Amino acid sequence: MNDKEWELFKQKLHAKSGINLNDYKPAQMQRRIGNMMNRHGASGYLDFFSKLEANPKLYKDFIDFLTINVTEFFRTPEKFDELEKKVIPDLLKRSPKLNIWSAGCSIGAEPYSLAIMLNEITPQTRHRIFATDLDVEMLAKAKQGSYSANELKNIPPARLNKYFTQANGIATIKDDIKAKVEFQRHNLLVDKFESGFDLILCRNVVIYFTEEAKDGLYRRFFTALKPGGVLFVGGTEAILNFRDIGFQHYLPFFYQKPL
C-alpha cells in the first residue's frame, strides 16, 4: 500500500467524517486500519474507503474503532476517589457552582459519574456538566443513558440502586441525574473551545494523537480553564511538558492552572 493511496484515503476520510488522520500517529493508525482492512478483504486504502461508503454499518464501526469508545463509570476508581475527596472540594472553595467539561465523553459514563458524585457532595447545587464527543452515535447512547453490567462494575450497590433503574440486565440512569448533563458534538482538534471551566476531564482520548496535536490540545485546555482550574488526564497520558504549557503539578494526572 503506497503513500499516495494513504494520503488520498486521509483526504477522503477528512471530507466525509471531519477526522483528520494527520493529527494521529501514522504508524499506529496504519497498523490499526490495516488490521480492519484485512478483516474486510480490502485490497488497499481506496478499496477500503469504497467499502466504507457502500456500507453504513461498516463506516460506523470504523469511526467507533478510530475514536476508541471504551469506557465505564468511575474508570480508575482510585483517581475518582481523589477527585471526590480532594479535587472537587478544593474547587468548591473558590467556585460554589462548578463549570465542568468532560471532553471525549463517549457513551456518557464519565459525565454521569461526575453528576452522581456532585449530587452526593452538594445535593442542593446545580453545577454545569458539559459533555462532548466527536461520535454522534456515542452521544445518542449517552443521552439514552442505558448501560450493561460491565460498564457499571465500579459503582457500589447503594449508588447503583439510588441512581439507576434496572431491568433485564440493563441499568438506566435516572432522569434527575440525566438532566444534569449537557451533551454536544465537538471535534477537539478543530472546533472552538468555551472558556471559564473549573475542571476539564480528557481521559483516554489522545492515545493515538501526534505529540504536536496533544501539545496544541493541552495548550487550548489551559486557556479554557479558569485560574485555579484543573485538567484531569488518563493514566497513560502524563503531560511531560506541563510546566512549559503553564500548568503546575497538582496530583498524579491532575494539572492545575495557577491562580
Tens digits of per-residue pLDDT, 197-223?
999 999 988 887 899 999 999 999 999
pTM of the predicted protein model: 0.81
Are 217 and 202 contacting, i.e. CB atoms less than 8 angstroms apart? yes
DSSP string, 173-224: E-HHHHTTEEEEE--TTTSPP---EEEEEE-SSSTTB-HHHHHHHHHHHHHH
Res 3 pLDDT > 90: no
Other Cβ atoms within 10 Å of 115 Cβ, number: 24
pLDDT at 136: 87
Q: Which CATH architecture has domain 77-256?
A: 3-Layer(aba) Sandwich (3.40)
232 closest CA partner among 135, 102, 106: 102
> Three-class SS of residue 247?
coil
The confidence score (pLDDT) of residue 130 equals 98
As a whole number, mean pLDDT of residues 231-252 equals: 93
The residue-averaged pLDDT of 218-234 equals 97
Under 8 Å between Cβ of 100 and 182 = no
How is residue 99 written as a grid cell? 463549570
Q: Is 183 exposed, middle or buried (0-12, 13-18, 19+ CB in 10 A)?
A: buried
Q: Report how far residue 183's alpha carbon sits from residue 204's, in angstroms, rounded to the nearest whole number.
A: 19
Distances (CA, A) of 128 to 15, 203, 245: 33, 19, 26
C-alpha cell belonging to residue 101: 467539561
Domain ranges of the chain: 3-67, 77-256
Mean pLDDT score of the chain:
92
d(CA 211, CA 65): 21
Mean pLDDT score, 155-167 = 92
Which residue do the cell numbers 468548591 mark?
Answer: 92
30-37 long-range Cβ contacts below 8 angstroms, 24+ apart: 30/6, 32/65, 32/66, 32/208, 34/1, 36/62, 36/65
The span from the CA of 20 to the CA of 216, in Å, is 14
- As beta bridge partners, residue 251 has 254
